[in-house]
Structure 1
Amino acid sequence: MGSSSNTKGTTVVEVGTDGVAIITIVNPPLNLLSVDVILSLKESTEQALQRDDVRAIVITGSKGKFSGGFGVTAFGGLQKRETDRRVLGFMSIEFITDSYEAARKPLVAAIDGPTLGGGLEIALACHARISTSTALLGLTELQFGILPGLGGTQRLPRLVGLRKALEMMLMSKRVKGEDALTFGLVDAIVPPDELVNTARLWALDIMEGRKPWVASLYKTDKLEPLAEAREILKFARFQAQKQAPNLRHPLVCIDVIEEGIVSGPRAGLWKEVEALQELRQSDTCKSLVHIFFAQRGTSKV
């Protein structure tokens, strides 16, 4: 299932006798996302949802790494293919939100290693997240002049609250699994050798009603009341302008987060897609991506 050449990455599906389908992202070394990986994940998930012998689904990454997110070349002016831009919007709403998160079978993410950007966003749309203590989680897109584009601006605040979510996104901050547990980003911490098995059992527990079935996009218990939320966003804008007066993308990110809080998460998702398409074409994004490659080049010497 999920066929594609290794260079582009793919996903592999195994269905256990317990009725849990394990979908593994395979694009070594960091299991980076690409349009191919995402389309393969979509195909694998849809197949698992249709199979009568599958009761629940676990998503994980090969060789102890969940997914480092989209390769840097996926943003900036480096990939001009129109289909890619369209696919991102289509992916965020039609796939990640309307078939993946809204699935009739529970999805549990088994997280280890770097789980960044789009990789974390896929995990955020699952109904639970099981992690190792050393996994690194973060939405790091702002360091490349863009913003999370698979629903992260909407789901992260609903899982961890607005303050923590803004801090993570605006500072491209990575947090360890053990810390992620304390503020509700993950549901449990287990040793690496127990990770997938715990996730399987957790998924079956959700299916059988022993554990809660949570759609992150519609969680509200962690969100601050509206008046307080507006104050937090206002302060975040003030800080962003003070620290980087010439950068527009942090303010765009704050606007997108606010849209979801004021007008509802669905409106926020659409605004996120539009903002991402616009920011990917920006000079800031192109130059930050260029700097990233230049720095990587010198560090290898």
Structure 2
Amino acid sequence: MRYEANTSVTGSGAKGKFSGGFDITAFGGMQGRKIAPPKPGFISVEVLTDTVEAARKPSVAAIDGLALGGGLEVAMACHARISTPSAQLGLPELQLGVIPGFGDVDHCTQRLPRLVGLSKALEMMLTSKLIKGEEAHDLGLVDAIVSPDELINTARQRALDILEAKRPWVKSLYKTDKIEPFGEAREILKFARTQARKQAPNLEHPIVCINVVEEGIVSGPRAGLWKEVEAFQGLLHSDTCKSLIHIFFAQRGTSRV
């Protein structure tokens, strides 16, 4: 993070990458109880929501390269996001048998629908589809597209503009303008469940993901956050998650050979 005293905070990654998300190698340790999981909800509430998002100093994510999983969640917790055209954003967690929301760090299931709408958010989560910066801008996930050379300066200026009330101070967890009306949202969720059961009838985690999203729509984002925490911890120790992580590392090893 880059700090400017009494004015703004802008965040960017190193070596042309914003953040690739959580280190998947730690999954095995957590599943085997060798690594203790974070205290449920602590990081997601205390750091992202109650510290970053609720801060009196605005934060702006400067996104280049990858912004995946927990990396994208950090960006979504900021008050604005600036991206390069070639940046890649997405939530690939379902490929590993879990839902977005690893280790109580993220609450992507609650923020993404409030930034891009319920239909697109479900598509991104359930298919693990990555999108480029331009599409993210069209959807409202990022606020501006600039070249890599302009990225940091533009993010700094956006933070100053927010501080001086020239730009809106947006807390993504509490946005409602992109959420469909309740009746329409129910139909979207119902359709998503039907499709998930058709495409993967023996997998539990896509349905769990939809249920967590629904909890946030029905009961509010904080309720959805706690349901996400609980659901993730349950899925982490499932046979499906263990098998998909094993496949992930087997494929990685094969590609290196």
TM bucket (normalised to shorter chain) is over 0.9
Q: Write the mapping of 1:1-301 to structure 2, written as runs, cut at 5 A.
A: 14-15=2-3, 20=4, 53-76=5-28, 78=30, 80-81=32-33, 84-87=36-39, 89-149=41-101, 150-301=106-257
Distance 1:88 1:191, change over 3 A: farther
Displacement of 1:300? 1.4
Q: Is the 8 A contact 1:202 1:211 kept in 2?
A: yes
Distance 1:88 1:298, change over 3 A: farther
Which residue type is aligned with residue 167 of structure 2? Answer: K
Q: Percent identity?
A: 70
Distance 1:253 1:191, change over 3 A: same
Q: Is the 8 A contact 2:31 2:237 kept in 1?
A: no
CA distance in 2, matches of 1:83, 1:128: 34
Q: Is the 8 A contact 2:31 2:236 kept in 1?
A: no
* More divergent stretch after superposition (220-229 vs 77-86): 77-86
Which residue type is aligned with residue 268 of structure 1? Answer: G
* More divergent stretch after superposition (73-82 vs 92-101): 73-82
* More divergent stretch after superposition (241-250 vs 65-74): 65-74
CA distance in 1, matches of 2:238, 2:79: 34
Q: Is the 8 A contact 2:2 2:9 kept in 1?
A: no
Report the TM-score, using the length of structure 2 for normalisation: 0.95
Q: Is the 8 A contact 1:114 1:136 kept in 2?
A: yes
Q: Is the 8 A contact 2:113 2:178 kept in 1?
A: yes
CA distance in 1, matches of 2:141, 2:22: 20
Displacement of 1:86? 2.5
Highest RCO, 1 vs 2 (Cα 8 Å, sep ≥ 6): 2
Question: Matched residue of 1:195: which SS?
Answer: helix
Distance 1:162 1:82, change over 3 A: farther
List 4+ stretches of structure 1 deviating above 2 A: 74-84, 86-89
CA distance in 1, matches of 2:169, 2:32: 39
Which stretches in structure 2 are left out of the alignment for 5+ residues? none
Question: Matched residue of 1:129: which SS?
Answer: strand
Q: Is the 8 A contact 2:110 2:221 kept in 1?
A: yes
Question: Matched residue of 2:41: which SS?
Answer: helix
CA distance in 1, matches of 2:32, 2:164: 46
Which stretches in structure 1 are left out of the alignment for 5+ residues? 1-12, 21-52
CA distance in 2, matches of 1:123, 1:144: 22
Displacement of 1:14? 4.6
Q: Is the 8 A contact 2:11 2:61 kept in 1?
A: yes
CA distance in 1, matches of 2:26, 2:119: 29
Displacement of 1:147? 0.8
Counting matched residue pairs gives: 253
Displacement of 1:77? 5.4
CA distance in 2, matches of 1:82, 1:92: 22
Displacement of 1:89? 2.5
CA distance in 2, matches of 1:74, 1:54: 37
CA distance in 1, matches of 2:173, 2:225: 10
Which residue type is aligned with residue 237 of structure 2? Answer: Q
